[in-house]
Amino acid sequence: MSDAGKAVTGKRAIGVETVGMTKIFGGLTALDDVSIRVAPGSFHALLGENGAGKSTLVKCMMGFYQPTRGEMLVDDTMVEVHNPRAAHAIGIGMVYQHFTLVPSLTAAENLVIARADTPSVIDWAKERTALNAFLETTPFKVPLDVPVSGLSAGEKQKLEILKQLYLDQRFLILDEPTSVLTPDEADEVLGLLRGMTEAGELTILMISHKFREVTAYADDVTVLRRGRVVGGGSVKDLSVQDMSRMMIGETEIRESAARADQPEKKLKLELAGLFADDDEELSAIEAISLKIHKGEILGIAGVSGNGQSELIEVLSGQRPLKDGRIFIDTKPYEPARDQMDAFKVFGFSEEPLRNVAVPRMSVAENMAFRTFDKAPISPFKGWLSPFPMRKRAKELIAAYRVKTPSTEEPIENLSGGNVQRAILARELSGDVDVLIVANPCFGLDFASVAEIRAQIMDQRNKGAAILLVSEDLDEILELADTVAVMSEGKITYQSPMAETDRATIGHAMAGHH
C-alpha cells in the first residue's frame, strides 16, 4: 500500500444522514424516529445523558445493530450497513471510548494489522516507508516502534484517530474522545480534527457530554433524550443552558447542598510521605503528603493512570504501603477492618460492582458488609441472624430510595445508579469521620450524579474529612474546598479552591507547567 499517502489527500469528506432511525430491543425503544443530518466537512456533536440512545444511534450507523426501522444516506444515496466492515467500506469509521489498540503490538503493527489488505508476509522496510509517507500527510505525530502499552493516553488517542485516517475513513464517529485526556491534550486533538474538517478532508460526529468542547469545536449539535431527538441546531445559536435543559428535560434534579462554613480547622486525616508500587513493581505513588481537616473536601484532580487508583487502594488496604504513614487525629492508622471501624473511615468508588460490592450477593448482604459481624446482625460471635439484616436493609432502601424488587435481589441486577445508592446507604448511614471517594459519579445519569454529590456535601457539612479523587474536573471544581493535582504519582500542585481556576489546574494535570 505505497499509495496510502496519496489516497488520504485524494478523497474528501463525506456527509451522512439518518432518516427515522428506530431501534427496539424487546420491549425497550432505545431509539425513536431519530433523523440527523451531518453535512460533509462539518463537526457535529451528539449530546445526551447516559442511556439517551447516543451509543445505539452510532452503533446502528456502524452496522453493529440493524435498526428496526429507518434508513441511512451517505452523500444523499441510500446505503445499507449490515456490519462494521460494510461501514468501513463506505468510509465510516469509529473511535471508541475504550482503546481498541493491541497493547503488546507497536504502533506500526497496530496500523498494519488494521488494514483489510494486510499481506500474508509483511515487508517491514516497505511498510515503514509507506507509514512515514502517510504520517507526513496528517497533523498527528506518534512514535511508531514502541509497544502501545508504553504510550501516553494522548498518544493512544491520536493513534486511534490515525488508524481511522490510515484506513481512509472520511467520516469519523468519536465516542467521548477526551475522557482520558488532560484538558490540554483534549484541546490539541480536537483542534487538529477541527482543522481537518475545515479543510474539507473529514467529517466528524462526536458523542460528548462536555459542553465546553461542544461550544469550542462543534459546528452543529443534536441533543437526544430517552431515544428521541429533543433539539439541536447550530452551536452558535444555542447557549449551554439551552443545551443542558434539552438534555435533562423535566427531571427534578436535587439542588446541590449549600457549603456550610466550618468554624474550626481541626486536622483529621494526614498522609505522610506515602510510597507504593504498581503491579509491575514500579513506583506508582511517591511521597504523597496531604492534610485534610474536619469538614473539608480535598479534591485530587488528574488524568487516570497517574497513581490515583493505587493511592485509593493503599488507603483502603488493598495495596501494601512501601513507605510512609497515615494518621487520623494524629494517631497512626492502618487500613484494617477493626481500625476502619474504630476511626469511622468509609468510602466508595466508581463501578461499585467491580470495586466495593459482591455482584451475586443480595442487596441486603451487600448493605451489611460494615455491620454483619456486630450486633444485632451477629448476636453471637460467628453467627448471622438474617432478620435484623433484612430489617436494616429495608430501612436503608427506603431512606436512600434504592429501587430494588426485594432485599434478596442479587445486587448485580440493579441499575448503575441504584447500585451506587445502595453502597452510599451502607457507607454513609452511620457516623462518618473520614470519607475516601473515587470517581463516585462515573457513568451515572444526571439525577443520580446530583444526588451523590449532594450526599458528599452533606457529609462535609456534618464535619467529615473527605478525600475525593476524580477524573472529572467539573466534579472537583464543584465539590472541593482544596484542590491537589496528581501527575506521575506525585502531588504536583495544591491550592485552596478560591485561589485557583480551571486553566491552572488543567496545566498542572499535564505535568511540568
Any bridge partners for residue 267, and if so which?
293
As given in the structure block, the three cell numbers for residue 230 are 429533543
If one asks whether residue 101 binds another protein (CB under 8 A), the answer comes out as yes
Stretch that binds another protein, among 120-128, 210-218, 387-395, 450-458 (CB under 8 A): 120-128
Q: How far is CA 499 from CA 153, 224, 261, in A?
A: 29, 37, 17
- Tell me which DSSP letter residue 269 carries: E
By CB under 8 A, tell whether 109 contacts another protein: yes
Rg (CA), the chain: 25
CA distance 75 to 41: 12
DSSP 8-class letter at 151? S
Q: How far is the CB of 279 from another protein (least distance, A)?
A: 4
CA 311 vs CA 295, 317, 323, 494, 510: distances in Å: 21, 10, 13, 17, 19
Binding residue (CB under 8 A) for another protein from 118, 132, 251, 289: 118
Measured distance CA(3)–CA(313) in Å, rounded: 50
Least spacing, CB of residue 486 vs another protein, in Å: 22
Q: Based on CB atoms, which residue is closest to another protein, 282 or 498? A: 282
Minimum Å gap between C-beta 95 and another protein is 10
Binding piece for another protein, criterion CB under 8 A, among 31-39, 74-82, 105-113, 346-354: 105-113
CB of 318 to another protein, least distance (A): 13
Q: How many CA within 13 A on the CB side of residue 464?
A: 27
Q: Quick one: which segment of 73-81, 99-107, 253-261, 395-403 binds another protein (CB under 8 A)?
A: 99-107
Strands 69-74 and 220-225: unpaired
| Residue 121 binds another protein (CB under 8 A) | yes
d(CA 145, CA 107): 6
Instruction: Indicate whether 376 belongs to the interface with another protein (CB under 8 A).
Output: no
Is residue 113 involved in binding another protein (CB under 8 A)?
Answer: yes
**Strands 465-470, 434-438: pairing kind:** parallel
Beta carbon of residue 122, minimum distance to another protein (angstroms, whole number): 5
Binding residue (CB under 8 A) for another protein from 1, 102, 248, 447: 102
Q: Is residue 217 helix, strand or coil?
A: helix
Task: Name the amino acid, one letter, at 74.
Answer: V
Quick one: which H or E segment has residue 338? helix 337-343
The answer to whether 85 contacts another protein (rule: CB under 8 A) is: yes
Instruction: Give every CB contact of residue 257 below 8 A, 6+ residues apart in sequence.
Output: 454, 457, 458, 461
The span of 80-88, 176-184, 187-195, 470-478 binding another protein (CB under 8 A) equals 80-88
Shorter beta-carbon distance to another protein: residue 116 or 258: 116
Question: Which one of 168-176, 274-282, 302-310, 458-466 is the stretch in contact with another protein (CB under 8 A)?
Answer: 274-282
Nearer to another protein, 127 or 270 (CB): 127
Tell me: does residue 103 bind another protein (CB under 8 A): yes
Select from 40, 84, 139, 359 the one that contacts another protein (CB under 8 A): 84
Nearer to another protein, 114 or 452 (CB): 114
Q: Any contact of residue 24 with another protein (CB under 8 A)?
A: no
> What residues have CB less than 8 Å from 58, skipping those under 6 apart?
46, 94, 173, 175, 205, 207
The bridge status of strand 203-208 relative to strand 267-277 is unpaired
Instruction: Kindly tell me which of 156 and 390 has the beta carbon lying closer to another protein.
Output: 156
All three cell numbers of 384, joined, read 448471622
What number of chain residues touch another protein (CB under 8 A)? 27
Q: How far is CA 8 from CA 2, 134, 200, 503, in A?
A: 12, 8, 12, 35
Cβ at position 105, least distance to another protein in Å: 6
Q: What is the contact mask toward another protein in residues 168 to 197, using x (rule: CB under 8 A)? A: ------------------------------
Within 316-345, the residues that bind another protein by CB under 8 A are 320
119 binds another protein (CB under 8 A): yes
Of 35, 100, 132, 256, which one interacts with another protein (CB under 8 A)?
100
3-class SS at 412? helix
Least distance (Å) between residue 118 CB and another protein: 4
CB of residue 225 to another protein, shortest distance in Å: 28
CB 415 within 8 A of CB 291: no
The CB density around residue 375, as the number of other CB atoms within 10 Å, is 10
Given the C-alpha cell 430494588, which residue does it identify?
404
Quote the least distance from Cβ 124 to another protein, whole Å.
7
Rounded CA separation 81/72 (Å): 8
Q: Is 120 in the site for another protein (CB under 8 A)?
A: yes
The mark string for 276-315 relative to another protein (x by CB under 8 A, - otherwise) is -x-xxx----------------------------------
**Contact assessment for residue 293 and residue 266, using Cβ atoms and an 8 Å cutoff:** yes
Residues that bind another protein (CB under 8 A): 83-85, 96, 98-105, 109, 112-114, 118-122, 124, 277, 279-281, 320
